[in-house]
Chain A
Amino acid sequence: MLRKSSIWVEAIRNGLIGGTVALLLCLVGIVVALGQKMIVSGVISMGQILAFAPILIFAYTNARRATTKTVDTLLLGAVAGLSSGVILAALIGLGQVINLRAMFVNASPDLYKLLTFGLTLGPGIALLLGVAAIIGLTGVALFLLPARIRGTLIQAIIWVTLIGLLRELIVTVTRSWGPVAPLVKWMFARSGLTLLGATFLLALIGGLTYWRNSRPKQAQVSKRNPKQQQWIRWGTLAILGLIMIILPRIVGPFFSDILDNVGLYILMGLGLNIVVGFAGLLDLGYVAFFAIGAYTMGVLTSPELAANPLTYWQALPIALGVAVLSGFLLGLPVLKMRGDYLAIVTLGFGEIVRLLVLSDWLRPWLGGTQGIQLIAHPVIGPLDFGSQQMLYYVILVGIAIAAFIAIRLKDSRLGRSWMALREDEDVAKAMGINHVTTKLLAFASGAFFAGLGGTLFAAKLSSAYPQSFQFLVSINVLSLIIIGGMGSIPGVLVGGLVLMGLPEILREFAEYRYLVYGALLVAMMLTRPEGLWPEARRRLELHEEQDLALQQESQPVMKNPGQ
């Protein structure tokens, strides 16, 4: 009896936590901000998904912890969902009695309307409680499903949500694709998907995922001989390259601008990946090199400041040289520091650079608060790379070079030295690795890519302002490499596309990007510190204990074949 009651208390407790998380999301304003963003037109909006997802998740985790009979588990889910709903209902009730808006700016009538599904107060709250209970039930039902179906369903739902979110992009891109255009038109409503379209997509993606998961794990690639594999790899690369080349033509100038920004962040990410991912030096002042690149470019090419302005290509080597030199300069004093101290000192370095650029003292040389205008952009013969769509190609080449260098560096002698220093500095030193040159080279190569990014950034805006080089830029780059997977180059690409691309496309979401980054960083560190697309060695390092345990478990099995 006692045990049983504690299960119910636990369910209510989890429900209340879920409700509190939902409440926080509501009060932070992200729910209302995305309330207009329909996923399935007329049925559900992204805001509603966000408000109710915590309820589902906590009901699910509650079910995972409690081990009871099916009927009880279902009931538990309903109880958890209901207690979450009570918290949201309490918010609505409180909002009617006192003016919550004096304190919480986002406790607006829009929020109440969204939570009560546009009904009047009484029926609205009743409906909310009912829906919360049903969501709790759904969470448990998901748990009770066989693992494969659950996985398929969750994946399909996530994909449909994503497609619904990216409606504008998809519609714009496919507008001129003969046979696809009518299908797309049929699937999408004015905002979000149509109900039919969503069902169709859900079935399609669900079916595909189920089919893929049901095939044996051994992929066919490994059965083919190495030569074929290589052909396939080069083929994929070529097709990807081709797509990348025609991309700005397909998506138009607006999305090209976004592509440029994403590209610049990927370029910086590749550089920071060397410093943080390979060498394990947490650099929070990375934006400084970006600023140094941009400002050197500005000082040398802008007719405002230079007596005889250079062209972009003439100034580029100088700007890169200055960036690398400043990388060395930062590297020298921090050689002996590790971990936390290094992070704060580099942060200080970034801020010092920004403060100097901003100061009245250096105004005659660097432009002070007004920044530098009329910065040159790259021109090759008749080709002018000034527009967003053209500059994209220069950035693309930059990324290709950076990625090539990073891949080659990774397994080189230097790259292995970096990783050795990252794993254990003392042992690495004892093995004869010169930590001075190794660390300095890490800072310098990181600075090189950031400097390149800075020159391109200056060329893109044809100006440089101190406001563009805030600490937040460093945090953006850091987030993308950590979430993508520290030390992993595909991780940087994926992280850049997702973290920098999504908030630019979803303008409603842009205001909350740092909230989401922060939450993602914490969640990532708690659950999957190696990142979404991890580098093999880093994963081994972080899951050492688990792997050891696995090995011990599997040892008897390993012996069996010998008998």
Chain B
Amino acid sequence: MLRTFRQRITITDIVIWAIGLAIAIMVVWGTISTLQSGKYATGTWLDLTIKGLAVGGVYALIAMGYTLVYGILRMINFAHSEVFMSGPFTAVFLANALAQSGFLNKQPLLSMLLITLLSMAVSAVVAMLLERIAYRRLRYAPRLVPLITAIGASFFLQYVFRGLYGSGFKGYPTVTSLQGSWNFLGIEVYKTQIVVIISAILMMVILYGIVQWTKIGRAMRAVSEDKEAAELMGINVDRIIVFTFVLGGASAGAAGILYILLFPVVWFFMGFIPSIKAFTAAVLGGIGNVAGAFVGAMLLGLLESIGPNLFLDGLGVVNPSQLKDAIAFIVLVLILIFRPSGILGERVTQTKA
């Protein structure tokens, strides 16, 4: 018994578990010493929690694009970051025009709706073109080929938008009625954060509904199970794949508008970091799984919002919030090592991973 156990464990396993254990000890140690020092009040933690949930909501909507495409094509759409960027980067012109004419503050709801719709439309079109021009022909190519294509497409799109709209930062106008904060049981909460959390949840429910309860959603799930069988059942696989890209693109466009409510600045490189995070979230929740994307995104939002202060401050790290991106990356590596199937995910077999 012990002998077979010993045979199965290799040096690499030991090293990997040692790394995991070291990180776990550091996290616990940091948490205890931070809490003991009492440097942050309860209010700060609550602030960070709300902020984390808001950011998590944005990640959830971006993660949908990764998860849907992965579910169907078993590929990571590396260019999804640019699908996310293209929407808000284009809609900024509409937003500024509306702000100049005064319409934005007169009819905030209607104008935000218009801006969101434009953003969703642009992102959806970019996603669709991407599928049509780049990915469609590579559906049966060796695995590295579509991935490299996606990386190339990502850079191409980034620099196309840089060329089109300029390389500088562009500010979004502020909506007066969304300024300031509400008071919930003695806690000050920014209005924008609440709006972002609620709309993200709402949109996730809609997306879940589309995938789970509509006819086209059923077709999507059928294609993701087995392309050939779905085709034999009379499903137009090409159309379903296009629809998947459009759906993922539209939700990324919506995520873009929620993102600019939190950070009202756009530029051509804005997609990179949030999208890597969203990908991490999708893997954390279990890639290919819609509910998993939501859970993973919320969890990651909380981890990177609370994490730096909670884990690192106690270890004596100066300015820990600088390392919040590093936390997300470390989370990604740890999940892929210890539980590649994610929290809610299907078992990712080695051939898929």
A binds B: yes
Write the residues of chain A forming the contact surface with B, with a CB cutoff of 8 angstroms: 24, 27-30, 102-106, 280, 282, 284, 332-341, 343-345, 347-349, 351-352, 355-356, 358-361, 363, 436, 471, 475, 478-479, 482, 512, 514-515, 517-522, 524-526, 529, 541-542
Query: What's the Cα separation between A336 and B158 when bound, in Å?
Result: 32
With most chain B CB atoms within 10 A of its CB, the pick from A340, A478, A479, A541 is: A340
Contact residues in B for A336 (Cβ distance below 8 Å): 337, 340, 350, 353
B243 at the A interface (CB under 8 A):
no
CB–CB B93/A340 < 8 A: no
Contact residues in B for A519 (Cβ distance below 8 Å): 152, 156
Contact residues in B for A338 (Cβ distance below 8 Å): 143, 350, 353
Contact residues in B for A512 (Cβ distance below 8 Å): 159, 163
CB–CB B160/A515 < 8 A: yes
B179 at the A interface (CB under 8 A):
no
Contact A515/B159 with A28-B164, A337-B336, A338-B350 known, Cβ cut-off 8 Å = yes
Partner of B163, one of A27, A475, A525: A27
Query: What's the Cα separation between A284 and B166 when bound, in Å?
Result: 27
Contact residues in B for A361 (Cβ distance below 8 Å): 317-320, 322-323
Query: What's the Cα separation between A347 and B332 when bound, in Å?
Result: 11
- Closest residue of chain B to A107, judged by CB? B164
Contact residues in B for A360 (Cβ distance below 8 Å): 318-319, 322
B329 at the A interface (CB under 8 A):
yes
CB distance from A349 to the nearest CB of B (A): 7
B233 at the A interface (CB under 8 A):
no
CB–CB A436/B12 < 8 A: yes
Contact A349/B166 with A340-B76, A515-B155 known, Cβ cut-off 8 Å = no
Partner of A104, one of B155, B164, B333: B164
Partner of B322, one of A352, A355, A522: A355
Kindly identify, within residues 301 to 352 of chain B, every residue whose CB is under 8 Å from any CB belonging to chain A.
317-320, 322-323, 325-326, 329-330, 332-333, 336-337, 340, 350
Query: What's the Cα separation between A525 and B156 when bound, in Å?
Result: 14
B16 at the A interface (CB under 8 A):
yes
Contact residues in B for A29 (Cβ distance below 8 Å): 163
B187 at the A interface (CB under 8 A):
no
Could you name 26 residue pairs across A and B whose Cβ atoms are closer than 8 Å?
A28-B164, A102-B93, A104-B164, A106-B164, A332-B16, A333-B19, A343-B78, A345-B332, A348-B333, A355-B325, A358-B322, A361-B322, A475-B155, A478-B148, A479-B152, A521-B151, A521-B152, A522-B134, A522-B149, A522-B152, A524-B152, A525-B138, A526-B138, A529-B142, A529-B145, A541-B142
Contact residues in A for B318 (Cβ distance below 8 Å): 359-361, 363
Query: What's the Cα separation between A520 and B163 when bound, in Å?
Result: 17
Query: What's the Cα separation between A160 and B65 when bound, in Å?
Result: 46
Query: What's the Cα separation between A356 and B319 when bound, in Å?
Result: 12
CB–CB B332/A344 < 8 A: yes
- Closest residue of chain A to B272, judged by CB? A471
CB–CB A345/B333 < 8 A: yes
Main secondary structure of the interface of B (DSSP, over half): helix
CB–CB A359/B323 < 8 A: yes
Residue count of chain B within 8 Å CB distance of chain A: 58
If A526-B134, A529-B141 are given as contacts, then 7 extra A-B residue pairs at C-beta distance below 8 Å, sorted by A number, are A345-B336, A351-B276, A355-B323, A363-B318, A478-B151, A518-B155, A519-B152
Contact residues in B for A332 (Cβ distance below 8 Å): 12, 15-16, 19
CB–CB A522/B156 < 8 A: yes
Kindly identify, within residues 52 to 107 of chain B, every residue whose CB is under 8 Å from any CB belonging to chain A.
75-76, 78, 93
Query: What's the Cα separation between A6 and B160 when bound, in Å?
Result: 33
Query: What's the Cα separation between A356 and B350 when bound, in Å?
Result: 31
CB distance from B58 to the nearest CB of A (A): 19
Query: What's the Cα separation between A333 and B332 when bound, in Å?
Result: 12
B172 at the A interface (CB under 8 A):
no
Kindly identify, within residues 146 to 175 of chain B, every residue whose CB is under 8 Å from any CB belonging to chain A.
146-149, 151-160, 162-166
Contact A341/B353 with A363-B318, A478-B151 known, Cβ cut-off 8 Å = yes
- Closest residue of chain A to B154, judged by CB? A518
Query: What's the Cα separation between A217 and B177 when bound, in Å?
Result: 76
CB–CB B166/A105 < 8 A: yes
Query: What's the Cα separation between A377 and B144 when bound, in Å?
Result: 39
Contact residues in B for A471 (Cβ distance below 8 Å): 272
Contact residues in A for B145 (Cβ distance below 8 Å): 525, 529, 542
Contact A344/B279 with A475-B151, A521-B152 known, Cβ cut-off 8 Å = yes
CB distance from B62 to the nearest CB of A (A): 14
Contact residues in B for A359 (Cβ distance below 8 Å): 317-319, 322-323
Contact residues in A for B141 (Cβ distance below 8 Å): 525, 529
B3 at the A interface (CB under 8 A):
no
CB–CB B332/A522 < 8 A: no
CB distance from B128 to the nearest CB of A (A): 15
With most chain A CB atoms within 10 A of its CB, the pick from B144, B279, B325 is: B144
Query: What's the Cα separation between A343 and B151 when bound, in Å?
Result: 10
Contact residues in B for A333 (Cβ distance below 8 Å): 16, 19, 333, 336-337
Query: What's the Cα separation between A280 and B143 when bound, in Å?
Result: 10
Contact A340/B330 with A30-B163, A514-B158 known, Cβ cut-off 8 Å = no
